[in-house]
Amino acid sequence: MANPSENLIELCRASVEAQRVATSEPYTEEGWRPWLEAAETFQAAVTAEAAQEPKQSRLGLEQAAKKAVLHPEPDGE
């Protein structure tokens, strides 16, 4: 299973938050721009991180980062 860096997880978190803000109001180009930019930054980081390790699946890395953000593991308390 892919193991995304903390930086990648933070970029994913920023993209998800920007999406939440953008979709909470009626569409405007200006309102959605931060989300689109955050998503673009996240995607570029996924590509760069996947390229660092030849056997790393780009898709697997992206899915692992999104899972960590959208469906975090319980702390086990």
- Contact between 12 and 68 under an 8 Å Cβ cutoff? The reply is yes
Whole-angstrom Cα distance, residue 66 to residue 30? 25
What's the mean pLDDT in 31-46? 98
Q: What residues contact residue 69 under an 8 Å CB cut-off, 6+ apart?
A: 9, 12, 13, 16
Is residue 2 scored above 90 in pLDDT? no
The whole-angstrom separation of Cα 45 and Cα 29 is 24
The rounded mean pLDDT for the chain is 94
pLDDT > 70? residue 36: yes
Higher pLDDT, 56 or 64: 64
Q: What is the pLDDT of residue 59?
A: 96
pTM, entire model? 0.90
How much is the pLDDT for 54? Answer: 83
